[in-house]
Each structure stands twice: as structure tokens, then as C-alpha cells.
Amino acid sequence: MRRVFALTAILTILGIANAHAEDTLSPLHFQSQGPLGTIDKAAAQRGYEVYKSVCAGCHSLGKVHYRDLEALGLTPAQAAGEALAAGGTLNSPIKGAAPLNMGGAIPPDLSSIAAQRPGGPNYIYNYLTGFGPAPAGVTLLPGHNYNAAFPGGQTAMPDVLHDGAVTYQDGVQPTKAQEAADVAEFLAWAADPNLDARHQIGFRAIIFFAFLTIIAVASKRKVWRTQA
Ligand code: HEC
């Protein structure tokens, strides 16, 4: 039993350590990533500002409703205000512009994109900051831009973020990297709005099993002592 306990402890520690090891591969640490991660609500709120001012011109967010913004810390009145400004109600989905065809590609709905792409928010961050001049020898298709993170190296989406593309209410500097990180965290939340609740349950389960292990060890000792 002591071995089982040690094994459980080692596996738990390895699991958490491994999640940290993955995080170090990217220049950024997203608070939502990892087995016990929670959404960074301040970052996600700023990310909503970025989405609204920059991305909504081309991308819809059809599975997210204005009332859902309350989970990010907006008051019901603020969420209703957002809905009203967009001509909807609290129960309306967050609608961007109607999909347009750009260079043969249609901007996808962003509701689940963080779940659909390997790497989630890290990929979105790398994509949004991955634009640049095409290296020698790369020929771009008409209406396409070089992007180091996009599979194939070129995308029909233009480079839309730059320093100061939005104004943040909380005084954080809106650098291009900051905007990209914030909108990535916002899209991680949009794709998995129940992440916090799920990870809380996971945390409680770890406590529960640790407790159960202690009881099992204690009772094993007691049983074997009386029978010896
Ligand atoms: C001018 C229109 C336009 C704007 C503004 C825009 N996008 Fe896009 N986006 C596109 C198009 C078009 C595609 C499809 C690209 C392709 O398939 O080549 C796309 C694709 C994407 C993808 C999917 C990439 C993939 O792996 O398939 C993500 C993620 C994305 N955009 C995020 C954003 C975010 C976040 C913003 C705001 C910061 C934004 N976009 C602003 C046009 C736009």
C-alpha cells in the first residue's frame, strides 16, 4: 500500500510537472492551460475588447451569447449594454460581420477555434504574431500573406494587430503581443466556458483521492497490526 501511495504521489507530481514543461515551449504562459489552470478573466476581458474592435469585422462568435460575458466578470448591466450596442439582447449570440470571401477563404466562426487547433491559445498567439515578409523563394498566392505559424505558411487573413490597435480600460499597454495574448485567452474561454468549473472538480478529486489514500494506508496498518 505504501508503494501505491508513493506511485500515486509520483504520478500526480509528474502530471503537474509535465504540464509546466509543455508551457515552457512557448514564450507565453496562458493561465487557462494545464490540468488545474483557470481563465485569466482580466486578460479575457481585454481579449473581448480586441475581438470587438478588430476581429468582429470579419469573424462571428456564434456560440457565445452576451449573457455569457457575465462569467468573465462583466455586470449584468454591462453585458446588457454590450448587447444593446450591437442591436441585440442578453440572449443574442455575439455576431460579427457576415462571412466574406477573401482570397478564396472565408473567415471561420471563432467560437470553438481554440479547441479545434492543436496548441489552442498558443497557436492563436503565434498565428496573430506570425505575419512577416515572405522568405526568399516563397511565392504567395493572390490575396495571401506570409504567416510562419499557419500550416502552409500563407493565409488569406491580413496582419490585423499592431501596437495601440485597442485602448484598454485597465491601463495595460496594448502592445501587439499583449493584444494577441489577450484575444487568445478570450478565445480559449469562448471554446471552453466551463473550464474553471471542470478544473475545480478535478482539484477536489485530487484532494479526495489523496485523502482516500491516507485512509487506506491507515486502515491497512490497523488491519495488519491486529492480525499479526
Ligand atoms: C479582414 C478580415 C479579418 C480580420 C479583421 C480578422 N481575420 Fe482572422 N481570418 C480571416 C480569414 C479570411 C481567415 C481564413 C484564413 C485562411 O484560411 O487562409 C481567418 C482565419 C483566422 C483563424 C484561423 C486560422 C486557422 O488556423 O485556420 C483565426 C484563429 C483567426 N482568423 C483569428 C482572428 C483574430 C483573433 C482576429 C482579431 C485579432 C482576426 N482573426 C481578425 C480574416 C480576418
* Residue 206, all three cell numbers: 485530487
Give the C-alpha separation, 143 to 145, whole Å: 7
Predicted pLDDT at 23: 40
Q: What angle do CA 118, 151, 188 make, to 5 degrees?
A: 30
- 181 Cβ closer than 6 Å to some ligand 1 atom: no
- 191 Cβ closer than 6 Å to some ligand 1 atom: no
- Tell me the CB-side half-sphere exposure of residue 191, using CA atoms within 13 A: 21
Low-confidence ranges of the chain (pLDDT < 50): 17-26
Q: What is the CA(107)–ligand 1 centre distance, in A? A: 5
Predicted pLDDT at 64: 95
- 105 Cβ closer than 6 Å to some ligand 1 atom: yes
- The answer to whether 110 and 55 are in contact (CB under 8 A) is yes
**Residue 115 to residues 68, 78, 156, 193, Cα–Cα distance (Å):** 18, 27, 21, 11
User: Structural domain boundaries of the chain?
Assistant: 2-60+96-227
Q: What is the CA(175)–ligand 1 centre distance, in A? A: 19
Q: Which of 41, 39, 45 is nearest to 168 (CA)?
A: 45
- 58 Cβ closer than 6 Å to some ligand 1 atom: yes
pTM, 2 dp = 0.82
Predicted pLDDT at 198: 76
Which residues, 6 or more positions from 202, have their beta carbon under 8 angstroms from its beta carbon? 35, 36
- 155 Cβ closer than 6 Å to some ligand 1 atom: yes
The domain covering 2-60+96-227 belongs, at the CATH homologous superfamily level, to: Cytochrome c-like domain (1.10.760.10)
- 59 Cβ closer than 6 Å to some ligand 1 atom: yes
Which residues, 6 or more positions from 174, have their beta carbon under 8 angstroms from its beta carbon? 163, 164, 165, 166, 167, 168
Phi-psi region of 118 (alpha: psi -120 to 50; beta: other; left: phi over 0): beta
Q: What is the CA(224)–ligand 1 centre distance, in A? A: 64
- 107 Cβ closer than 6 Å to some ligand 1 atom: yes
Give the C-alpha separation, 54 to 84, whole Å: 19
Ligand 1 atom showing the smallest separation from residue 51 Cα: 37
Q: Which of 197, 199, 105, 118 is nearest to 158 (CA)?
A: 105
Give the C-alpha separation, 72 to 32, whole Å: 13
Predicted pLDDT at 24: 38
Ligand 1 atom showing the smallest separation from residue 155 Cα: 18
Q: What is the CA(166)–ligand 1 centre distance, in A? A: 17
Predicted pLDDT at 5: 63
